[in-house]
Amino acid sequence: MSDIKKFMYVNRKAPYGTVYALESLEVVLIGAAFDQDVSLAFVDDGVYQIMEGQDTTGIGMKNFSATYRALGDYEITKLYVEKESLEARGLSVEDLMELTWEDEDEDYEEKPSIILVSSAELAEVMAGQDVVLSF
Amino acid sequence: MKFTIQVNEGPYQHQTADSAYQFTKAALEKGHEVFRVFFYHDGVNNATRLGLPPQDDRNITKLWADLAEKYKLDLVVCVAAAQRRGMLDENEAKRNGKDSHNIHPAFRISGLGQLIEGGIQADRLVVFGD
């Protein structure tokens, strides 16, 4: 298994309400051990997964949003967010968590992980993938 | 072509499991290789050996099991998703002090790494879900 493939995890659902977001994250974290070229995409209600200030006390569920902040430590540094999905929900990039990674080649400079893309741009990125897992 | 199949929904409630089964069967009949079928999310429920669908309906677990026997298919149930939903094989039941187990012997329990490996090894990973 020496060849590196491009893996993209497509997150389409809200973080709570169904288990897809939580269990998708579990795949991403396990998959990080396989040294592949990994990116995540957030589309449709999936953009809610990385919103700042999530509070689950009212619904009795575990708030797992902090895990997205740890993705950089797993060398997962490309989080594509679809602009149209944000706009359709009255959101902008300022509503999202500040997700960063440390570039060890540049003295551990903190760089943003979120890449805002249009639907057409995301389609292009997707077309360049070897494996697309959709959740 | 070599496929890995991911099944994300349980049997009967969604057509997902049927579609995944039909696709897998068709691919095998056409002479393609299926490296692995990986059951995730509620898809783990496809592996229950205790399901009792009416006589005149399809039995999805049995369909998978028969296909696996015919083609030596590797049917893998995600351990984390399975434990969360009370799907245990004999070993897992014993290890966790549970008094019974419900995984059909045609399926085996393993970790999420098996899904990633499936993505790496196959020419195409096909996801069946909602």
Tell me which residue in A19, A20, A31 faces B116 most closely, judged by beta carbons: A31
B119 touches chain A (CB under 8 A): yes
The reported pLDDT for the residue numbered B130 is 85
Taking 90 as the threshold, does the pLDDT of residue A2 lie above it? no
**In the block, which residue shows the tokens 């709570």?**
A16
For chain A, the residues whose C-beta falls within 8 A of a C-beta of chain B are 1, 3, 5, 7, 19-20, 23, 26-27, 30-31, 33-34, 36, 130-135
Instruction: Give yes or no for B80 touching A (CB within 8 A).
Output: yes
Closest A-chain CA to B121: A1
- At B46 the pLDDT is 98
Please state the domain extents for chain B.
2-128
Is residue A107 left, alpha or beta, with left meaning phi > 0 and alpha meaning psi from -120 to 50? Answer: left
Which CATH number fits the domain A6-134, given the four candidates 3.30.420.40, 3.40.1260.10, 3.40.50.300, 3.50.50.60? 3.40.1260.10
CA dihedral sign, ordered A76, A46, A48, B82: negative
The answer to whether A108 and A29 are in contact (CB under 8 A) is: no
Q: What is the pLDDT of residues B5-42, one digit of tens each?
A: 999 999 999 999 999 999 999 999 999 999 999 999 99
Q: What CATH class does B2-128 carry?
A: alpha beta
Residue B36 pairs in a beta bridge with: B4
Active site residue B108: no
Is the CB of A7 less than 8 angstroms away from the CB of B116? yes
Comparing alpha-carbon positions, the chain A residue that sits nearest to B123 is A130
Choosing from B47, B78, B103, B109, which is the catalytic residue? B78
d(CA B63, CA B75): 12
Mean pLDDT of B69-85: 97
Query: Which residues of chain A lie closer than 8 angstroms to B41, CB-CB?
Result: 19-20, 23
Which two three-digit tokens encode residue B43? 């898809």
User: In this structure, are residues B34 and B28 in contact, taking their beta carbons and an 8 Å threshold?
Assistant: yes
Q: Across the interface, do A31 and B112 touch by the CB < 8 Å criterion?
A: yes
- State pLDDT tens for residues A77-123: 999 999 999 999 999 999 999 999 999 999 999 999 999 999 999 99
Residue of A nearest to B111 (CA): A30
C-beta of residue B64 within 8 angstroms of C-beta of residue B48: no
Residues of B within 8 A of A27 (CB-CB) are 40, 112, 115-116
ipTM score of the complex? 0.88
Strand segments, DSSP code E, in chain B are 2-7, 33-39, 75-78, 107-110, 124-128
